[in-house]
Amino acid sequence: MADSSSSFDLVQRLADDPERLLQHVAQALVEGGELHRLFDLRLVQQRRRLGLPLDRRTAIDDVEEPQRSQLEAGYLAACREVGELLLEAGRLREAWMYLRPAGDKHALRQRLSAVVLEEQQADELIELALFEAVDPQRGFAWLLGRNGTCNAITTLDGLSQQLSADDLRTCAGVLVRHVYRELCGNLRGHLARLEGAAPQNLSALELIDQHPQLLAGGNYHLDVSHLASTVRYARLLTDEALVGKALEMAEYGTRLPSDLQYPGEAPFEDQFASHRLLFRATLGRDADEALEYFGAKARAAGGEPASTTAVETYLILLVRTGRPADAMRAYGELVKPELPLSVHAPTLLELAATSGEWDLYNDLCRSRGDVVGFAAGVLARRSDR
């Protein structure tokens, strides 16, 4: 609110009418764009309604019920009001300061969907969308387009434990599309240099099948570490179109010189060949071969593997190939009660719900001493009736 004497004089004249006074101050703050002060004013109003001190020195935790719940409700209402006003004003970073405690991600996500990324705002918008997880898919696409594949993969590796499984999966889809386009573009560019022209309608796999000269003499068309990281993230995907692209990239990788095929983490030591097997099975091809391979890898990992990747991959593949009951048995065999799996692996309860094998589920819970899981199963079955 502007510090003019007339404004202060009006406030003084309204001293005997507190509601009009507060309404006048709120209107002046909105008109002046002083929305942080509007938030403070709303808290003063709520404290006044509850008969609490107006100076905010009393922390919310020190206020007794039922006033504390009422004060918290007023705080969240003020967060929503001020956050929405800041959104309308285009002050997105400031808006998120208020919308975050209110749990209102949707409004900011809607606003981001209409934004055109410009350089002067790029860092702020990418931070909100990706690092604050308001819209990770959009934020990662912005980051990828602006900073390139290397920076984007490094960033995603750093965020992979913070993002939800669904958000990480959508980012993996963005990465697969981007790197596949890059591979196709580089292959076509190479072919055009060799032959003067390159067909635009051929896939990456068709290009290398029909034009073997592209890989002659140890040629390659992508940073191999980018290719490896992309197929690694593609494990999360089940969309047929995306998995198809990932399969082509894995196939491309198998045809590179052996000194470019770096070993991966178990069960993907033979990195591109093993990913090719996984992607083919995900698409319904050679599932038995893949299950035999990854099952052997999971059992070879032992009861206390340094990484759960081998076991998780086997469980995931059993589910993808329509064998949830077999996945339950494998879970009982390979996953010790004290061995936590990642959020990407199916839970025992999910496997029971999918397969309907509740007797097996109950037996496994009893053998593992899992009374909480047993109770969750009882409740899940009851809710399905």
- Please check whether residue 260 lies inside any domain of the structure: no
Give the pLDDT of residue 1: 47
Helices (H), the chain: 5-13, 18-31, 35-50, 67-88, 92-99, 105-113, 119-126, 136-147, 149-159, 165-195, 204-210, 224-234, 240-254, 271-282, 287-300, 309-320, 324-334, 348-355, 358-367, 371-384
In the chain, how many domains are there?
2
Q: Which tokens hold the place of 307?
A: 């990484």
Residue 326 has pLDDT above 70, yes or no: yes
Q: Is the pLDDT of residue 250 over 70?
A: yes
pLDDT-derived band at 68 (thresholds 50, 70, 90) equals confident
The domain boundary residue, chosen from 114, 145, 178:
114
At how many degrees (to 10) do helices 165-195 and 136-147 cross?
30
Q: Where in the sequence is the domain holding 290, given as residue range(s)? A: 286-385
| Average pLDDT of the residues in 112-127 | 90
The C-alpha atoms of residue 21 and residue 40 are separated, in whole angstroms, by 15
Checking if the pLDDT of 115 tops 50, the result is yes
Q: Which residues lie closer than 8 Å to 80 by C-beta, 6 or more apart?
A: 98, 99, 102, 104
The two three-digit tokens of residue 229, written as one number: 């990281």
Q: What is the mean pLDDT of the chain?
A: 91
- What value, to the nearest 5°, has the Cα angle with vertex 356 and ends 353 and 359? 110
How does residue 17 score in pLDDT terms, banded at 50, 70 and 90? Answer: low
186 assigned to some structural domain: no
Residue 13's pLDDT is 58
Between residues 326 and 117, which one has the greater pLDDT? 326
Contact 313, 235 (CB under 8 A): yes
Q: Is residue 316 part of a domain?
A: yes
Q: What does the alpha-carbon distance between residue 253 and residue 271 come to, in Å, rounded to a whole number? A: 9
Q: Which residue has the higher pLDDT, 15 or 203?
A: 203
pLDDT tens for 153-168 read 999 999 999 999 999 9
Query: Are 140 and 168 spatial neighbours (Cβ–Cβ below 8 Å)?
Result: no
Q: Is 373 a member of any domain?
A: yes
Q: How many CA atoms lie within 13 A of 243 on its CB side?
A: 18
Three-state secondary structure call for residue 186? helix
Choose the weakest-confidence range: 10-14, 83-87, 323-327: 10-14
Is 163 domain-assigned? Answer: no
233 belongs to a structural domain = no
247: its two tokens:
């399969």
The residue-averaged pLDDT of 310-315 equals 96
Categorize the per-residue pLDDT at 120 as very low, low, confident or very high, splitting at 50, 70 and 90: confident
Last residue of a domain, one of 97, 114, 131: 114
Q: Which stretch of DSSP H or E encloses residue 53?
A: none
List the single range of 202-211, 235-244, 253-262 with lowest mean pLDDT.
253-262
- Please return the burial class of 262, using the count of CB atoms within 10 Å of its CB with bins 0-12, 13-18 and 19+: exposed
* Position 59 in a domain: yes
Q: Residue 212: what pLDDT?
A: 95
Residue 385 domain flag: yes
The predicted-structure confidence for 267-309, as pLDDT tens digits, reads as follows 999 999 999 999 999 999 999 999 999 999 999 987 666 679 9
Q: What is the pLDDT of residue 334?
A: 93
**Stretch among 118-122, 124-128, 154-158, 171-175 having the lowest mean pLDDT:** 118-122
**Which of 92, 114, 136 is a domain's end point?**
114
